[in-house]
Amino acid sequence: MFQLDLKSGVPISDQIVNGFIKLKALGIIKGGEQMPSVRSLALKFSVNPNTVQKAYAILESGGIIYSVKGRGSFVSEDERAHLAVIEKAKTDFYGAVKTAQGLGLSSDTLSEIINEIYKEEKKC
Domains belonging to the chain, first-starting first, are 12-123 (1.10.10.10)
Residue 56 near residue 65, CB atoms below 8 Å: yes
Q: State the virtual CA torsion across 94, 112, 23, 66 in degrees, nearest 10.
A: 20
- pLDDT tens per residue across all 124 residues of the chain: 899 998 988 999 999 999 998 898 888 999 999 999 999 999 999 999 999 999 999 999 988 999 999 999 999 987 777 787 788 788 889 999 999 999 999 999 999 999 998 888 777 6
User: Burial of 71 by CB count in 10 Å (0-12 exposed, 13-18 middle, 19+ buried)?
Assistant: exposed
What is d(CA 98, CA 121) in angstroms, rounded to the nearest whole number?
Answer: 24
